[in-house]
Amino acid sequence: MHIHILGICGTFMGGVALLARADGHRVTGCDANVYPPMSTQLEEQGIGLVEGYGADQTALAPDLYVVGNAISRGNPLLEEILDRNLPYVSGPQWLADNILRGRWVLGVAGTHGKTTTTSLLAWILEDAGLNPGFLVGGVPQNFGASARLTDSPFFVIEADEYDTAFCDKRSKFVHYRPRTAILNNLEFDHADIFSDLAAIETQFHHLVRTLPAHGLIVVNGREASLKRVLARGCWTPVEWFDVADGWQAGEPDDDGRFEVSQAGASVGSAQLELLGAHNRANALAALAAARHAGVPVDVGLQALGRFKGIKRRLEVRGTVRGVTVYDDFAHHPTAIAVTIAGLRKKIGPGRILAVLEPRSNTMKLGTMKAQLPSSLAEADQVFCYAKHLGWDAGEALAPMGAKARSFDDLDVLVSAIVDAAHPGDQVLVMSNGGFGGIHDKLLAALNKNGQP
């Protein structure tokens, strides 16, 4: 079957493309914004990409159009598909019908940490010899791809609460019907489609309703919002993490090794390359879910030490003249604060130059602009790219005083960062998009600036 995917370069739809190709389909796709790492993955797999959404793409005559949730009414190609009554389906529905059906699905949901926890869980199962399939909203370094299809009964998926498609406003994860689910945390996000936190809690409740009685829900015990979700009805066993009466991680020693306990009893120790208490909590959730799939805890603990991390999660893009440039996906204020705190713990008193592109729909709406100063507080200097915002970034960051500046021109922003950077500084770039290739521009400008 020939499948043409609209919005193919999104992390989810790009993963769907890889799975469809592995399932034996001919796959092409289109997108308005093409950038690595997804575009690179697709090109390496021989998947043809078309720039833009021209209605003339119907000349490709695919058997089915798979429509991503970034595609809205008014899109020229979508309108042509609807006018001509051509066959189409949403990405999550296609995935549920063609890949997930009949498998043991392990789904990872939550406002933050989904990609990391999904990657950790997939790696633990892989290290234990279970050869899982997976779909992750990033690129785990241990696998080198965001998605994989195998003949294993196990499939690990990042379970997103964002809506499914223009024609289906349920959360994506409602389609997946997991047997094992991780509920990592739950805060208000996606202000473009949810009116408040209660609306998101309702979607999580719908997910909980799909789990079987012989399944397992692994839940962050610190989240009052998740307790409210379960209080609305739960028919599945629950294990808690990050609390004393559930799975818990101790503080790491000088070698980064930490103790893991369950219900107060030690079950062993592990090392984890990832920084911060939030990542140790992610690891706990992955250990619990993997145990449900049959992986002994001691095997899971050993696997954690061999986990290499994820692209765009405090990923070092290069060091020039003693200045290190990082790439990170953080875009929600909580994630921004946690990312900076993790880097701060790693480098100690060194300077952090935080570079932020508020690019998500929620951030563009300005819903969380008041939280930005506190989320960026641990950075020594803040540079905000404000070109596409509908609110005044300078005004929002004013409580930070002279340490925060906003820019509408990317080249001017790059020059300002290079002028401010000193040997030993850490430049932390945070965006959930390509950010105009700023990482390479920074490294090139730093190198040029250092030439006599």
Q: What is the pLDDT of residue 452?
A: 39
Kindly report, residue by residue over 266-323, the tens digit of the pLDDT: 999 999 988 788 889 999 999 999 999 999 999 999 999 999 877 777 788 999 989 9
For residue 64, the 8-state DSSP code is E
Per-residue pLDDT, 338: 84
Q: Name the band, by pLDDT with cuts 50, 70 and 90, for residue 447.
A: confident
**Would you say the C-alpha torsion 112, 255, 344, 414 has a positive or negative sign?**
negative
Q: Which has more confidence, 119 or 308? A: 119
The CATH architecture of the domain made up of 102-304 is: 3-Layer(aba) Sandwich (3.40)
CATH of the domain spanning 315-449, picked from 3.30.365.10, 3.90.190.20, 3.40.50.150, 3.40.50.620: 3.90.190.20
Distances (CA, A) of 307 to 122, 147, 237, 272: 10, 17, 28, 7
* Band of residue 449 on the pLDDT scale cut at 50, 70, 90: low
CATH classification code of 2-90: 3.40.50.720
CB 10 within 8 A of CB 91: no
Torsion 318-319-320-326 (CA) sign: positive
Q: How confident is the model at residue 342 (pLDDT cuts 50, 70, 90)?
A: confident
Percentages helix, strand, coil for the chain (3-state, rounded to 5) are: 35, 25, 40
Q: 137 or 127: which carries more pLDDT confidence?
A: 127
The average confidence (pLDDT) of the chain is 91
Token pair for 374? 């506190």
Q: How far apart are CA 104 and CA 322, in angstroms?
A: 47
Distance in angstroms (rounded) separating the CA atoms of residues 350 and 217: 40
pLDDT, tens digit, for every residue of 386-402?
888 888 888 889 999 99
User: pLDDT tens, 215-224?
Assistant: 999 999 999 9
Do residues 121 and 286 touch, judged by C-beta distance below 8 A?
yes
On the 0-12 / 13-18 / 19+ scale of CB atoms within 10 A, 19 is: buried
> What residue segments make up the domains of the chain, in order of their start?
2-90, 102-304, 315-449
The pTM score is 0.79
By DSSP bridging, strand 352-356 and strand 247-249 are: unpaired
Q: What percent of the chain has pLDDT over 90?
A: 66
Q: What is the mean pLDDT of residues 128-136?
A: 97
